[in-house]
Amino acid sequence: MAISKFPRKLPLMAGIFVTVLSVAAMTSPSTEQFLSPGGDNEMHEGMACDQCHETAEGTIRQQVQANVYHWLGSRQHGADFLTQPVESADCEACHPMKENFHPQQKLRKSKYYELDTMLGIRECSGCHDHHSSSVMQHAMTLCMHCHEVWGKKPDTTTPTHVELIAQGRWETCLQCHEFHGGHQREKIFLLEDAHKVETIQNYLDGKSAAPYGDLRTPYLKERGTLR
Ligand code: HEC
Ligand code: HEC
Ligand code: HEC
Ligand code: HEC
Ligand code: HEC
């Protein structure tokens, strides 16, 4: 009984409803927030969707048509639907990161291929998820994957890098170092003078500001205003 009464068009209607809602919401700043996958948990609180999700080319009808032809096999590529995928370049439109000592080209080397499948380091969004309240997605010990060999550089800290690495104390790295170098920080040589592990964890969890000092270049509030 109950089953035969189930309106067969309900799933279709629901689909259309959601689609219309998404289109409306993506283009209207006041209602868009509730469609965000992280809800209110956002790394950039309240930022408009189109600062990262740029509108895809063509009308919605053209996009649907291109994708249907693609699925049917008569078109080689589908089209982006509603919005283009968010890429590192979208982040760099507001975070130019001129001083970055871990720029994407250094992390895209083939020797990191396996690590990339694990941590997704080829794109900014492998380590940072806007749709989450955390500033960073991985454990603060991630340095271990690439810095296990100190090499021949002078080792001037107390304890030394060689000692810290041998003891597997990877939580100490971010106590003295930043990952990108966005702040005007001073060199720290003594571990006892360094930021506390707890302070770093709170920052990575999005609970407090970065402890490293003033920004060298302020983050832009609108994309591309420097380009
Ligand atoms: C700071 C950049 C940024 C902003 C602002 C932003 N997003 Fe996203 N969003 C991303 C990234 C990065 C991804 C993952 C990569 C992708 O799918 O393109 C994503 C993924 C998504 C997804 C797909 C979810 C998934 O699990 O694949 C949806 C839906 C979405 N965003 C909706 C929104 C809405 C709605 C807003 C505005 C309230 C918004 N986003 C604002 C960066 C952003
Ligand atoms: C429209 C400009 C804009 C875009 C696009 C943008 N950001 Fe931001 N970002 C900011 C601003 C402004 C802040 C500081 C204010 C805030 O947290 O809301 C910030 C803060 C951050 C922080 C936290 C820094 C801290 O000290 O807490 C991270 C990490 C970050 N952005 C990464 C990204 C990534 C990754 C992307 C791409 C998916 C991105 N941003 C896209 C403007 C932008
Ligand atoms: C995916 C690999 C990778 C990870 C993960 C990684 N690094 Fe690096 N790091 C590099 C590479 C590559 C360089 C550049 C080395 C060069 O240019 O000779 C570098 C350089 C550095 C430098 C020297 C910067 C300079 O030029 O003054 C410091 C400091 C550093 N990393 C700290 C860290 C810390 C702290 C972490 C963990 C939060 C970390 N790294 C995680 C790959 C990585
Ligand atoms: C007590 C603070 C402190 C801690 C902890 C620390 N570092 Fe350093 N690190 C420094 C300082 C200061 C320098 C620069 C030394 C100099 O200029 O003489 C440095 C230099 C480096 C360099 C070399 C940069 C270059 O010139 O090529 C790398 C790479 C590096 N650290 C990675 C790490 C990693 C990985 C960890 C975690 C195991 C770590 N550091 C822990 C303070 C620290
Ligand atoms: C391998 C992981 C990883 C990748 C990939 C990565 N980040 Fe980060 N990022 C971190 C870590 C760890 C921190 C926290 C430590 C710090 O503040 O330096 C951070 C901090 C930040 C901050 C705040 C501090 C600052 O220096 O301004 C911004 C903004 C940021 N990242 C943007 C980006 C952008 C944009 C990209 C892509 C071009 C990117 N990140 C790629 C790991 C990563």
Q: Are 128 and 119 in contact (CB under 8 A)?
A: no
Q: Cβ neighbours of residue 151 under 8 Å, at least 6 residues apart?
A: none
Q: Ligand 4 centre from 155 Cα, in Å? A: 8
Name 183's bridge partners: 215
Query: Do the domain assignments include residue 220?
Result: no
Host domain of residue 80 = 54-84
d(CA 220, CA 58): 28
Q: What is the reported pLDDT for 6?
A: 56
Q: Give ligand 2 pocket residues (Cβ under 6 A).
A: 43-45, 51-52, 86, 90-91, 93-95, 124-125, 128, 130, 135, 210, 219-223
- Per residue in 53-94, pLDDT (tens digit) is 988 777 777 777 777 777 777 777 777 766 788 999 999 999
Query: Do the domain assignments include residue 60?
Result: yes
d(CA 113, CA 120): 9
Query: Do the domain assignments include residue 59?
Result: yes
Query: Do the domain assignments include residue 71?
Result: yes
Residue type, 197: V
- Spacing of C-alpha 175 from chain mean position: 22
Query: Do the domain assignments include residue 58?
Result: yes
Query: Do the domain assignments include residue 214?
Result: no
Tell me 18's DSSP state.
Answer: H
Radius of gyration of the chain (CA): 23
State the total domains in the chain: 1
Q: Ligand 5 centre from 136 Cα, in Å? A: 7
Question: For residue 211, is the peptide bond before it cis, meaning its omega torsion is within 30 degrees of 0?
Answer: no
Q: Answer yes or no: is the C-beta of 219 below 6 A from any ligand 3 atom.
A: no
d(CA 112, CA 114): 6
Residue of 101, 155, 161 to test ligand 4 pocket, by largest number of atoms within 8 Å of CB: 161
- Which tokens belong to 158? 């107390």
- Per residue in 140-149, pLDDT (tens digit) is 999 999 999 9
Ligand nearest to the CA of 34: 1
Answering whether pTM is above 0.95, one says no
Query: Do the domain assignments include residue 22?
Result: no
Residue of 101, 145, 156, 173 to test ligand 4 pocket, by largest number of atoms within 8 Å of CB: 173
pLDDT along the chain (227 residues), means of 10: 54 51 48 66 91 82 76 74 84 91 94 95 96 96 97 97 98 97 93 98 96 93 72
* Backbone φ and ψ of 83, nearest 5°: -130, 155
Handedness of CA 3, 8, 11, 14 (dihedral sign): negative
Query: Do the domain assignments include residue 67?
Result: yes
Name 158's bridge partners: 190
